[in-house]
Amino acid sequence: MVKKRKLGRGVAIVGAGMSKFGMFKDKDSKDLFTEAFNEMTASVNKGIDPNDIDALYLGNFSNDFFMHQSHWGPIIADIIGTVPKPATRTEGACASSALAFREGIFAIASGFYDIVLVGGLEEMSKRTTEEVAEGLALATVPYEGRAGFTFPGVFGAIATAYFEKYGANREHLMNVTIKSHNNAPLNPKAQFKLTIRDMMNVKVESAKKKGLPVTEWIDEKDFLRDPRANPVVAWPMHLYDCCPISDGASCMLLVAEEIAKNFTDAPIYVAGIGQGSGRGLHACKDFTYFEATRYAAQEAYGMSNLKPEDIQFAEVHDCFSIAELLHIEDLGFFEPGEGYKAVADGLTRLNGTKPINTSGGLKCKGHPVGATGISQLYEVWTQLRGKAGKRQVPIDDLRVGGAHNLGGTGGTCTFTILERR
Amino acid sequence: MVKKRKLGRGVAIVGAGMSKFGMFKDKDSKDLFTEAFNEMTASVNKGIDPNDIDALYLGNFSNDFFMHQSHWGPIIADIIGTVPKPATRTEGACASSALAFREGIFAIASGFYDIVLVGGLEEMSKRTTEEVAEGLALATVPYEGRAGFTFPGVFGAIATAYFEKYGANREHLMNVTIKSHNNAPLNPKAQFKLTIRDMMNVKVESAKKKGLPVTEWIDEKDFLRDPRANPVVAWPMHLYDCCPISDGASCMLLVAEEIAKNFTDAPIYVAGIGQGSGRGLHACKDFTYFEATRYAAQEAYGMSNLKPEDIQFAEVHDCFSIAELLHIEDLGFFEPGEGYKAVADGLTRLNGTKPINTSGGLKCKGHPVGATGISQLYEVWTQLRGKAGKRQVPIDDLRVGGAHNLGGTGGTCTFTILERR
């Protein structure tokens, strides 16, 4: 039983921004953060003077490894002009900026600061795929990465366990992939802009033009089953089960609840926060759930007095297709072993009863790891303000959404509930 | 003018521990943290059940680089048994664990948690000196490290500027070194246990035994002037101006003020916290002060309603001898340009009017960078409880001490004021 917790002072989001996600040879971390920051300032409709920002929290996983540069707090404080005010980096692997968001909340709720910028960034695409895999493996526990267990292998093992326990199979993973690819073209910031059907057509047209033999796939699953189109990475994780290598940045302006209306007509409020930790796969008796996610969820539900059924839609950490299935169960949206059936029934589609990863998810929006946590919150914030355009969740009176972020092999998990009042 | 800030809820330290600092080929980060944690639990005289710890904050600079392992929050949560409760890593270069301490305070002051463990660690000695220099340079801003400016060079440039502006010289730096070496033998955790006079005797005895020519130095400064005994690293930084490469860990148990007496008869209270950021040397018109330290100091003084003259003793970030001179001025203990005279007059000695670095400082206690911030607070906590043994500050009614931590080339600075009530 997780203890029920409260903040002494409420916190609201009054602005947010994110860069486009993708592989950018001509942009560095500073360019990407600037892009996010400029969108954030423009989104605060009554205006924000950067001089009024009291502190910065910045999530970054390991630009140490990827870019041979650490200590990003003051570098970003410099470019946005908040020096000599404090700048603190948080790291929790792929959940690094969800931790920055949480520390920003504590800093305000403590009464010490009133206006805090939280953000995240990662610059990965300048390294080779092999180097990125090596860098990401720094986030596993020593028993995993050092033994040669990189992330596709970890999630392959998790998928196998889930299949075995609940009778799911690769076809069910494909439902997650197809959904993510259907949502992403509606998100102008997403790294991948094509549905699986679009991809099929592209490949057919390309083969025809080159005079090569043409494969005409029957449907998306036929395409995803074809090992030439969708090769195996670490069984049962195939290429289209895995998120890409990405560069990107995200940020959010948090203020004390009582001053939120000074900044915007449309504040979004932090209803619940939760964070948990995990020991890694070597210590798990059962690979089919993440203890850290369950803990984080209970903490957030406890604070918010909300239940899983109250969360109208959510962004969920889908670094691999199987992760989305586990997490929608761990968060209580579906019973253990029922997640894959719910996805098969279309419940998590944009027009389903519980839309998941309307942004396209990590799979298609992209996953610049340190930027991801706040980019998920950005999507929830956007949806709650009714500003999601073609991917707007078609639910009347959209008021409550959740964002779930996972780091490492479940070492760090967060769940955050936002609400419009 | 720095805004006056307050916490909504007071925070107390009810226990602390640190490993021995040194170069340990047979101990890893987990061993070192365990050593610190065990001392911490023993120091809580009414007892602490680790199950009651609500959250962990852990400072680490870049075990990513040094040990090819990131994401240390959950690894440490695992060994101390707090999983699935949250574990968050903070990074601010050499100030990484001072940031963990601060986030622990915010987490409690926010009302969300009541009992938080904060700590720090770094494991550096398994890498070569050249690799450590390269790793530490990740903490400079890109204009510095990438241009080949490593830390001895940075502080050499700062020393040159200070000499030029205020008329100081190398002899004044030697006073800092001699003092640190006089304090360290009184600290059982220190990496270096010899005074400069001891070093002289060791070298003389060793030469005599080997039948080599014997240099009989007149006094400590004669020894420090001798380039064979004290070779130049980056002028005017000589070997004895520079802190060593170290491994170590430190931790502290923080609780809400109102429950502190449930844990110990002798809580030490957090009177003031401050943190600032800086842009790096390329942006400084004047190298003789750190804007980030001055900002941090003003924030901490503002919160505590204390003045520099109220701080009876302090730990100050002396990664290089010159850093101590700048910081005792930046913290307001002495006027700009007067710090080196105060040290020459003996005011900062253990029996002076303003004892500085009674622990031996980074120079002699050692500097496992991620562990340093909380190790400084550990010294202040120890002194305020009257438990510092032979290095106990001989001031009646010792009630208020400060700890100052610097990261990078002034990118991150913190100042914390602790008090016994």
**DSSP state letters, A353-412:** SS-B-TT-HHHHH---HHHHHHHHHHHHHHHHTT--GGG----TT--EEEEEEEETTTTE
pLDDT of residue B101: 98
Q: Parallel, antiparallel, or unpaired: how do β-strands B11-18 and B55-59 relate? A: unpaired
Options B94, B242, B364, B413, the catalytic residue: B94
pLDDT of residue A231: 98
Q: Does A104 touch chain B (CB under 8 A)?
A: no
Q: Does B302 touch chain A (CB under 8 A)?
A: no
- One-letter identity of residue B215: T
Mean pLDDT of A92-108: 98
pLDDT of residue B52: 97
Q: CB distance B142–A106 less than 8 Å?
A: no
B367 in active site: yes
- One-letter identity of residue A118: V
A250: nearest Cα among A33, A44, A99: A33
pLDDT of residue A380: 98
Q: Does B91 touch chain A (CB under 8 A)?
A: yes
Residue A163 pLDDT grade (very low, low, confident, very high; cuts 50, 70, 90): very high
Q: How many residues does chain B have?
A: 421
A75: nearest Cα among A132, A34, A129, A27: A34
Tens digits of residue pLDDT in B303-328: 999 999 999 999 999 999 999 999 99
Percent of chain B's residues with pLDDT above 90: 95
Mean pLDDT of B220-228: 97
Radius of gyration of chain A (CA): 20
Of B86, B275, B407, the CB nearest to A71: B407
Q: What are phi and psi of A2, to 5 degrees?
A: -85, 135
Q: Which residue of A has its CA nearest to B256?
A: A110
Q: CB distance B279–A83 less than 8 Å?
A: yes
pLDDT at B146 over 80: no
Q: CB distance A112–B68 less than 8 Å?
A: no
Between CA A367 and CA A283 the distance in angstroms is: 27
Q: Which of B51, B70, B114, B282 should be substituted to probe chain A, the one whose Cβ sees the most A Cβ atoms within 10 Å?
A: B70
C-alpha separations of B130 from A69, A105, B123, B145, B421 in Å: 17, 40, 15, 14, 46
How many pairs of residues across A and B have Cβ atoms under 8 Å apart?
235
**In contact, B295 and B278? CB cutoff 8 Å:** no
Within 10 A of B234 (CB to CB), how many other CB atoms are there?
20
Chain A residues in contact with B291 by the CB 8 A cut-off are: 83-84
pLDDT at B150 over 90: no
Tens digits of residue pLDDT in B248-261: 999 999 999 999 99
What distance in Å separates residue A144's CA from the closest CA in chain B? 11
What distance in Å separates residue A404's CA from the closest CA in chain B? 14
Q: Which of B277, B293, B304 should be substituted to probe chain A, the one whose Cβ sees the most A Cβ atoms within 10 Å?
A: B277
**B98, containing H or E segment:** helix B96-109
Q: Which of A9, A82, A106 should be substituted to probe chain B, the one whose Cβ sees the most B Cβ atoms within 10 Å?
A: A106
Options A251, A367, A404, A413, the catalytic residue: A367
Alpha helices in B167-283 (DSSP H): 170-183, 196-210, 220-225
**In contact, B93 and B369? CB cutoff 8 Å:** yes
Between CA A357 and CA A379 the distance in angstroms is: 9
pLDDT of residue B144: 83
Q: Which residue of B has its CA nearest to A10?
A: B110
Of B77, B91, B111, the CB nearest to A277: B77
- One-letter identity of residue B365: K
C-alpha separations of B229 from A338, B4, B195, B356, B363 in Å: 72, 49, 14, 26, 17
Within 10 A of A62 (CB to CB), how many other CB atoms are there?
25
Tens digits of residue pLDDT in A213-240: 999 899 999 999 999 999 999 999 999 9
Q: Which residue of B has its CA nearest to A90?
A: B90
Q: Which of residues 19-58 of A touch B (CB under 8 A)?
A: 54-56
pLDDT of residue B142: 81
Tens digits of residue pLDDT in A30-49: 999 999 999 999 999 999 99
pLDDT at A183 over 80: yes
- Specify the long-range contacts of residues A232-235, CB closer than 8 Å, at least 24 apart: A233/A152, A233/A156, A234/A150, A234/A152, A234/A153, A234/A155, A234/A156, A235/A156, A235/A160
Q: CB distance A90–B89 less than 8 Å?
A: yes
Between CA A307 and CA A415 the distance in angstroms is: 13
Tokens 């660690």, residue? B121
Q: Which of residues 313-342 of B touch A (CB under 8 A)?
A: none
Mean pLDDT of A267-286: 95
B69: nearest Cα among B119, B108, B26, B126: B126
Q: CB distance A278–B93 less than 8 Å?
A: no
pLDDT of residue A249: 98
Q: CB distance A70–B90 less than 8 Å?
A: no
B267: nearest Cα among B102, B118, B46: B46
Residue A141 pLDDT grade (very low, low, confident, very high; cuts 50, 70, 90): confident
Within 10 A of B229 (CB to CB), how many other CB atoms are there?
18
Tokens 């998100």, residue? A187
Tokens 């195996």, residue? A232
Q: Sign of torsion, CA A343 A290 A408 A145?
A: negative
Chain B residues in contact with A85 by the CB 8 A cut-off are: 276-277, 295
Residue A144 pLDDT grade (very low, low, confident, very high; cuts 50, 70, 90): confident
pLDDT of residue A69: 93
Q: Does A107 touch chain B (CB under 8 A)?
A: yes
C-alpha separations of A208 from A200, A203, A214, A221, A231 in Å: 12, 9, 6, 22, 22
**In contact, B271 and B400? CB cutoff 8 Å:** yes
Within 8 A by CB and 6+ apart from B17, the residues are B35, B36, B37, B38, B39, B40, B41, B42, B43, B250, B251, B252, B378
**In contact, B186 and B174? CB cutoff 8 Å:** no
Tens digits of residue pLDDT in B326-364: 999 999 999 999 999 999 999 999 999 999 999 999 999
Q: Which of A31, A53, A88, A416 should be substituted to probe chain B, the one whose Cβ sees the most B Cβ atoms within 10 Å?
A: A88
Q: Does A67 touch chain B (CB under 8 A)?
A: no
> What is the pLDDT of chain A when averaged over all its residues?
97
Tens digits of residue pLDDT in A60-90: 999 999 999 999 999 999 999 999 999 999 9
Mean pLDDT of A341-366: 98
Q: CB distance A113–B7 less than 8 Å?
A: no
Q: Which residue of B has its CA nearest to A282?
A: B78
Q: CB distance B91–A102 less than 8 Å?
A: no
Of A55, A84, A138, the CB nearest to B70: A138
Chain B residues in contact with A71 by the CB 8 A cut-off are: 91-93, 138-141, 407-408, 411-412
Chain A residues in contact with B150 by the CB 8 A cut-off are: none
Terminal alpha carbon distance of chain A: 29
Between CA B77 and CA B26 the distance in angstroms is: 22
Residue B149 pLDDT grade (very low, low, confident, very high; cuts 50, 70, 90): confident
Options A94, A319, A364, A413, the catalytic residue: A94
B383: nearest Cα among B364, B356, B405: B356
Q: Which residue of A has its CA nearest to B407?
A: A71
What distance in Å separates residue A99's CA from the closest CA in chain B? 7
Could you tell me what percentage of chain B is helix, strand and coil, using 3-state DSSP and rounding each to the nearest 5? 45, 20, 40
Q: Does A120 touch chain B (CB under 8 A)?
A: no
- Is residue A203 classed as helix, strand or coil in its secondary structure? helix
What distance in Å separates residue A311's CA from the closest CA in chain B? 22
Residue B147 pLDDT grade (very low, low, confident, very high; cuts 50, 70, 90): confident
Between CA B132 and CA B275 the distance in angstroms is: 26
The distance between the two most distant Cα atoms of chain B, rounded to a whole number of Å, is 68
Q: Which of B33, B51, B103, B110 should be substituted to probe chain A, the one whose Cβ sees the most A Cβ atoms within 10 Å?
A: B110
Options B181, B367, B404, B413, the catalytic residue: B367
Q: Does B109 touch chain A (CB under 8 A)?
A: yes
Of A9, A84, A278, the CB nearest to B291: A84
B16: tokens are: 């602390």
- Is residue A207 classed as helix, strand or coil in its secondary structure? helix
Residue A11 pLDDT grade (very low, low, confident, very high; cuts 50, 70, 90): very high
pLDDT of residue A146: 76
**In contact, B103 and B88? CB cutoff 8 Å:** yes
Residue A150 pLDDT grade (very low, low, confident, very high; cuts 50, 70, 90): confident
Q: Does A8 touch chain B (CB under 8 A)?
A: yes
Q: Which range (A214-218, B162-166, B293-297) has the least confidence? A: A214-218
A317 in active site: no
Residue A409 pLDDT grade (very low, low, confident, very high; cuts 50, 70, 90): very high
What ipTM was reported for this prediction? Answer: 0.97
**In contact, B321 and B221? CB cutoff 8 Å:** no
Q: CB distance B141–A75 less than 8 Å?
A: yes
Tens digits of residue pLDDT in B76-113: 999 999 999 999 999 999 999 999 999 999 999 999 99
pLDDT at A1 over 80: no
Percent of chain B's residues with pLDDT above 70: 100
Answer with the residue of higher pLDDT: A359 or A133.
A359
